[in-house]
Amino acid sequence: MSAAIEASGLTKRYRSTLALDGVDFRIEAGRIIGLIGPNGAGKTTVLKTMLGLTDFAGTLNVLGRDPRREREDLMREVCFIADVAVLPRWISVEKAVDFVEGIHPRFDRQRCERFLARTKLQPKQKVRQMSKGMIVQLHLALVMAIDARLLVLDEPTLGLDILYRKQFYQSLLEDYFDEHKTILVTTHQVEEIEHILTDLMFIRDGRIVLNTDMDSMGERFIEVMVNADHAETARALGPLDERTVFGKHVFLFDGVERERIMALGETRRPSVSDLFVATMKGTYA
């Protein structure tokens, strides 16, 4: 399968700050990738390099193009939803739809109107009359109606209530995604996207510290809840993390033989958020 995005030695420095430290990764086409990291880890910088919004050292190929030299051609096949939707306060819903339809050859007006029909937005309603959540809804409808090969989502549902957030991700799967599209999403609401991801990347201090597909994650990592009398046995196996829940010890293991773990107590596949917390411990120390 061809790579939608491939980076080698990707490095970015802002004066004295090393934002990306020789990052290597490969993202296949037709995947949904979660790029997860704490504040200041380098997530936004990765997105900026892919979108041609900042210079960098190393090699980066996005949809077969170098974002530094071929940004105009690249952006015909890429859509970006930022964490802050910026729309003119004077523009109305219908005028915004007209504008995007007039400038983007891959915009599908009917698809946009289907997204808008699920909201309370009215055609004559202007941005200055909308709440923050409504502005985000309009922005999402406009961008999701563009038939892009790569969709980059940076905290796409920030400011939306939980009902619309769930509806957005459901629409992403049912109405937008197919085997020809690639979606890269960053968010702090990890629990809400876990069920749609095919791949997972953790970034910390400008480095990729975990890069795996979701199936392999389930095979590699395992959690076990044990009584106090088995706690020392579990610690001797070198857990990645340990926490206490309702008086019982929960251990997270990486690559330890499952039969040994299952003999200690009740096991389960860890959630992405549990794995993230375990991996990022000490980040804010």
pLDDT of residue 102: 92
The percent of residues in the chain predicted with pLDDT above 70, rounded, is 97
Q: What is the DSSP letter of 270?
A: P
Mean pLDDT lowest among 90-104, 129-143, 260-274: 129-143
- Quick: pLDDT tens for 177-193: 877 889 999 988 888 88
First to last CA, the chain: 41
Beta pairing, strands 182-186 & 150-154: parallel
pLDDT of residue 246: 84
217-280, CATH topology level? Alpha-Beta Plaits (3.30.70)
Backbone angles phi, psi at 92, to 5 degrees: -95, 170
Asked: is 3-205 a CATH 3.10.129.10 domain? The reply is no
Cα–Cα distance measured from residue 156 to residue 262, given in angstroms and rounded to the nearest whole number: 39
Q: Which two tokens stand for residue 78?
A: 């890429």
Residue-level length of the chain: 285
Strand order in 199-204's β-sheet? 78-81, 150-154, 182-186, 32-36, 199-204, 207-213
pLDDT of residue 193: 87
Place of tokens 């038939």: 147
Confidence of residue 123 (pLDDT cuts 50, 70, 90): very high
Residues of the chain with CATH 3.30.70: 217-280
Beta pairing, strands 248-254 & 221-226: antiparallel
Q: For residues 63-79, give the mean pLDDT.
A: 91
pLDDT of residue 1: 53
Please tell me the number of Cα atoms within 13 Å of 82 on its side-chain side.
Answer: 9
Residues of the chain with CATH 3.40.50.300: 3-205
Confidence of residue 82 (pLDDT cuts 50, 70, 90): confident
pLDDT of residue 283: 55
Of residues 136, 213, 124, 199, the one with CA closest to residue 167? 136
The contacts of residue 283 (CB under 8 Å, 6+ apart) are 38, 41, 204
- What are the start-end ranges of the E strands in the chain? 3-14, 17-28, 32-36, 57-62, 78-81, 150-154, 182-186, 199-204, 207-213, 221-226, 241-245, 248-254, 266-268
pLDDT of residue 280: 86
CB 213 within 8 A of CB 200: yes
pLDDT of residue 155: 85
- Where b means 16+ CB within 10 Å and e means fewer, 185-217 reads bbbeebeebeebbbbbbbbbebbbebbbebeeb
For residue 135, pLDDT over 80 is answered with yes
Average pLDDT, the chain: 89
Cα–Cα distance measured from residue 224 to residue 209, given in angstroms and rounded to the nearest whole number: 23
Secondary structure of residue 182 in the 3-state scheme: strand
For residue 284, pLDDT over 60 is answered with no
For residue 104, pLDDT over 60 is answered with yes
Of residues 208, 168, 174, the one with CA closest to residue 189? 168
Cα–Cα distance measured from residue 35 to residue 23, given in angstroms and rounded to the nearest whole number: 13
